[in-house]
């Protein structure tokens, strides 16, 4: 009895790979000050006062990092000394803002920001008018500010959205909803990158010489 010859679909899971591995897809996660290795306990504070919002945003930043790492992405924090040293040494970034701008523009495929503290709102302010950065940025803003009349809501976020940045309002106490939104946004940017590359790494399929299949390029 003749043994069935493996089809292209049989071998595809082992041989076909995306042209851009997910581990190479870098995500910048920004928000209230937090060291990359720092762990944050789930906050008990209410998010009805500014300090409480910051505590929840810091926790969300930490949890978002964990979820993105579990999904296979690479995650960067602006506080990382290695990041600052790299851009300073190779691109003459003389300050933290310049280093973050370079990293966001040149190295990252997606950016997640929880604008709540003075520093994180300033970071969003740097990115907002730059279309090439804004378009790959998701700002997750505490629901309380959705109807706010402040300059932050009526000016900064408006400019950010005009440059095709994405802004969503979620109650920061709903941690799962915030983290899920961040992960979904990043996955969408990664999937778009794969579509834009227009090809797959099918070198091993060619080596296998399965001609006449849907993967044949000859």
Q: pLDDT value at position 154?
A: 93
**Per-residue pLDDT tens over the stretch 120-160:** 999 999 999 999 999 999 999 999 999 999 999 999 999 99
96-106 helix and 118-127 helix, angle to the nearest 10 degrees: 50
Q: Helix, strand, coil proportions of the chain in percent (round to 5)?
A: 50, 10, 35
Q: CA-CA distance, 30 to 139, in Å (whole number)? A: 9
Tell me what pLDDT residue 199 has: 54
Provide the pLDDT for residue 196: 86
pLDDT of residue 17: 62
DSSP letter (8 states) at residue 183 = H
DSSP code for 150:
S
Extract the runs of DSSP E, i.e. beta strands, from the chain: 17-18, 26-30, 74-76, 110-113, 137-142, 166-170, 200-201
Q: What is the 3-state secondary structure of 13-36? A: HHHCEECCCHHHCEEEEECCCCCC
Q: What pLDDT, on the 0 to 100 scale, is given for residue 198?
A: 66
Determine the topology of domain 24-32+46-208 in CATH: Rossmann fold (3.40.50)
pLDDT value for 197: 81
The predicted pLDDT at position 145 comes to 92
| Residue 205 and residue 11 in contact, taking contact as beta carbons nearer than 8 Å | yes
Q: Give pLDDT, residue 58.
A: 96
Q: What is the pLDDT of residue 218?
A: 33
pLDDT for position 22: 87
**What phi and psi values does residue 82 have, to the nearest 5 degrees?**
-60, -40
Sequence ranges of the domains in the chain: 24-32+46-208
Of 204, 151, 143, give the one whose Cα is nearest residue 169: 143
Give me the residues of the chain with pLDDT under 70, please.
1-19, 198-218
Question: Which are the contacts of 11, defined by CB distance < 8 A and separation ≥ 6?
Answer: 205, 208, 210
């Amino acid at each position: 009895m003749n043994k069935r010859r493996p089809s292209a679909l049989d071998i595809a899971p082992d041989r076909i790979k995306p042209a851009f591995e997910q581990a190479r897809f870098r995500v910048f996660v920004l928000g209230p000050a937090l060291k990359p290795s720092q762990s944050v306990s789930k906050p008990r504070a209410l998010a009805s006062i500014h300090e409480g919002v910051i505590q929840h945003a810091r926790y969300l930043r930490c949890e978002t990092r964990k979820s993105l790492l579990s999904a296979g992405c690479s995650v960067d924090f602006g506080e990382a000394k290695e990041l600052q040293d790299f851009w300073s040494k190779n691109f003459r970034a003389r300050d933290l803002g310049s280093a973050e701008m370079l990293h966001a523009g040149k190295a990252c495929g997606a950016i997640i920001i929880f604008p709540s503290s003075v520093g994180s709102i300033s970071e969003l302010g740097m990115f907002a008018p730059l279309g090439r950065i804004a378009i790959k940025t998701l700002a997750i803003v505490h629901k309380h500010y959705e109807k706010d009349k402040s300059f932050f809501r009526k000016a900064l976020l408006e400019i950010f959205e005009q440059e095709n940045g994405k802004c969503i309002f979620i109650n920061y106490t709903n941690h799962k909803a915030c983290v899920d939104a961040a992960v979904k946004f990043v996955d969408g940017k990664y999937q778009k990158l794969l579509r834009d590359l227009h090809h797959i790494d099918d070198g091993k399929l060619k080596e296998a010489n399965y001609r006449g299949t849907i993967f044949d390029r000859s």
